[in-house]
Amino acid sequence: MNAQRLDDAENAFRQALTKEPGWATARHHLGVVLAQRGDFEHALAELREAGLLRPDDSEIRTDLADTLVAAGMPDEALVYYRQFERVVPPNSALYAAIARAEGMGGHFAEAQESAKHALALDRNNGEAWMLLSAAQVERGDFGEAERSLEAPAALLPNDVRVKLSWATLRYKQGRRAEAEAMLRTAVQSYPSSVQARSLLLEYAQDRAAAERFLQHLPSAGQAR
């Protein structure tokens, strides 16, 4: 959703809540819009309030958990995901979400197992393959991590996250020059990717040279 549509949606939901403050649906969707804008503090406040207004709504709770992850609060998100695990049928997307939160929280062994659960339910879940590989990288199991990345490379050929996962693997293997070359290519192919730019600066052997390289490309905002 582009900036103008986000503005329009936010204004519409705020106007609705002015007339009916207890409308859980409007508060829920306002929280989602704010999360898309990166305003996690206010997004979480709206989503928590929506959850109080409609405590049995699984969609609100899912969006709250996902926003907690995006806001860098994975352990709190795991509380919600574990609740879902007890009440909904096993599904690959849920286990992938659990693996993502566990990985962000530094629980790499648990993240690896959750990603494997996700893949047992759906071998074509490219997100789960990337999460499995990331956990294996953090545990130093580079050979398995490389094998795990082969699947998302085929399933998600145009996803910049796959390119960044390969670059991170090479960097962790001590192959810094390869990682930097991969990231330069990724930034050129996906100039709006803030994460690609950030990793390039982090992994570059010569940060000043990497900064000069980025200066000759459109900024992330201009590329959107």
Same domain membership, residue 3 and residue 50:
yes
Q: In this model, does residue 116 exceed pLDDT 70?
A: yes
Q: Which one of 84, 100, 123 terminates a domain?
A: 84
Q: How many CA atoms lie within 13 A of 44 on its CB side?
A: 15
Domain assignment present for residue 191? The answer is no
Same domain membership, residue 96 and residue 75:
no
Same domain membership, residue 93 and residue 79:
no
Q: In this model, does residue 223 exceed pLDDT 70?
A: no
pLDDT at 3: 80
State which residues form the domain around 58: 1-84
Listed in sequence order, the residues at least 6 apart from 221 whose beta carbon sits closer than 8 Å to its beta carbon are none
Q: From 124, 132, 198, 122, select the one nearest 160 (Cα to Cα).
A: 198
The mean per-residue pLDDT over the stretch 118-133 comes to 97
Domain assignment present for residue 115? The answer is yes
pLDDT at 58: 85
Q: In this model, does residue 221 exceed pLDDT 80?
A: no
In degrees, to the nearest 5, what angle opens at C-alpha 155 toward C-alphas 159 and 176? Answer: 55
Q: In this model, does residue 1 exceed pLDDT 60?
A: no
Lowest mean pLDDT among 23-27, 59-63, 98-102: 59-63
Mean pLDDT, the chain, integer: 93
The CATH number covering residue 35 comes to 1.25.40.10
**pLDDT over 90 percentage in the chain:** 86
Q: How many domains does the chain have?
A: 2
Q: In this model, does residue 164 exceed pLDDT 90?
A: yes
CA distance 186 to 169: 15
CA dihedral defined by 3, 33, 114, 186, rounded to 10 degrees? 10
Same domain membership, residue 108 and residue 30:
no
**pLDDT over 70 percentage in the chain:** 97
The mean per-residue pLDDT over the stretch 83-105 comes to 93
pLDDT at 220: 58
Predicted confidence band of residue 141 (pLDDT cuts 50, 70, 90): very high
Same domain membership, residue 23 and residue 53:
yes
Same domain membership, residue 94 and residue 57:
no
Q: In this model, does residue 122 exceed pLDDT 80?
A: yes
